[in-house]
Structure 1
Amino acid sequence: MKRLLWLGVGLAIGALVVRAVSKRAQAYTPRGMAAAARDSGANLVDSLRDFVDDVRDGMHEREQELQTAFAEGFVFEDELDDAYADELTDEFDEVRADPAKAGAPDPAGQRGHRTPPEDTDR
């Protein structure tokens, strides 16, 4: 009777092990890899949709706050102090007058234009 009991336990454990190993092996077949890629792609799309929904909710909430503040006559203060704003304006005017001072490309130049390399073989 003991032998029959241990035979049954061994068969049950063996069946469970074979089932687990076959599931793992199936994951490495082309069909299993395609299913895993499909599932991860679907999860990525779902995560992206959730993120976009959260951003839209935040935008609508902020828009309501701004509309309420505007309706109540609230005036938003500039976060820049006047001296800093004047300094930025002066720097912008200098760069606009002479782009070479800031190391910026000439705005009148062609976009994407490259000078040909110099011939060093001569």
Structure 2
Amino acid sequence: MRRLFWLAMGVTIGALVVRKLSRAMEKLTPAGMAGGVASALRDLADAIGDFSADVRAAMSEREAELRRASGLDGTGQNRPT
């Protein structure tokens, strides 16, 4: 019974210490630090999205150029005879 009491006491004290340390770390950490990581990830996602949009636009432009050059655009120009 004594061991169970001391085990429960140790767990309780450990949990309280962890909570106190967590709160102290939150106070010492700059407010922008936690938001900085999320902001950086958001910026990275935006950059990747912009890059993929640029690639899609360039692909569409190049496809249109190839269609015009090969006569597949339906205008009737440059058709092989």
- Confirm or deny a common fold (TM above 0.5): yes
TM-score (normalizing by structure 2): 0.63
CA distance in 2, matches of 1:42, 1:57: 22
Which residue type is aligned with residue 15 of structure 1?
G
Which structure is richer in relative contact order (CA contacts within 8 A, separation 6 or more)?
2
Matched ranges for 1:11-30 at <5 A: 11-27=10-26, 29=27
Larger radius of gyration: 1
TM-score (normalizing by structure 1): 0.47
Distance 1:8 1:71, change over 3 A: same
Which of 26, 39, 42 lines up with 2:40 in the alignment? 42
Query: What is the Cα deviation at residue 15 of structure 1?
Result: 1.1
The DSSP-based 3-state class of the residue aligned with 1:75 is coil
Distance 1:30 1:21, change over 3 A: closer
Structure 1: give runs of 5+ residues left out of the alignment: 78-122
Query: What is the Cα deviation at residue 25 of structure 1?
Result: 4.8
Q: Matched residue pairs, number?
A: 75
Percent identity, aligned pairs only? 15
Residue of structure 1 in register with 2:78 after alignment = none
Which residue type is aligned with residue 14 of structure 1?
I
Cα-to-partner distance string for 1:21-65 (whole Å, 9 max, x where unaligned): 5324532x2624131132232122212211112212212321232
Structure 2: give runs of 5+ residues left out of the alignment: 76-81
1:4 and 2:3 are equivalent in the alignment = yes
Residue of structure 2 in register with 1:64 after alignment = 62
